[in-house]
Amino acid sequence: MMDSIEWKLDQIDCWIENSTDYVEQALLCSIRQMLLQQVNRIEQQKAELDGRMWSPKEW
């Protein structure tokens, strides 16, 4: 997942650099942040799932 997000972020960075409109550029920067937050959330959810699967309470 990290590889694919890195590629996406690089792509967004290119779009930000090429954008000439201030408001559009601001939105691109915020979408970039949003994608990172989404990935972070998914990582946390996966860690929680992993923790529960390995919890002795679940054995």
Partner 1 sequence: MKTAILISHPDIQQSSSQQFLLASMNRLENVQYRILDEQKTVDGRFDRQVESGWIANYERIIFQFPLYWYAPPATLKQWLDEVLDVSMFRSTAIKEMGVVVVVGGRKEHYQPGGKHLCTVEELIRPFQAIAHVMGWRFLPVFRVHAFSSLTQEQKKELVVEYQRYITQEDYLCFEQTQQWYIQQAFHYYQKTSNEQWKQLGEWLEELQEESTELSHILKGWK
Using CB under 8 A as the binding rule, the residues of this chain from 11 to 30 that contact partner 1 are 11-12, 15, 22-30
Which of 17, 42, 50, 54: binder of partner 1 (CB under 8 A)?
A: 42
CB of 1 to partner 1, least distance (A): 9
For 47-56, letters b (16+ CB in 10 Å) and e give eeeeeeeeee
Q: Which residue has the tokens 């860690």?
A: 47
Q: Which residues bind partner 1 (CB under 8 A)?
A: 8, 11-12, 15, 22-31, 34-35, 37-39, 41-42, 45-46, 48-49, 52
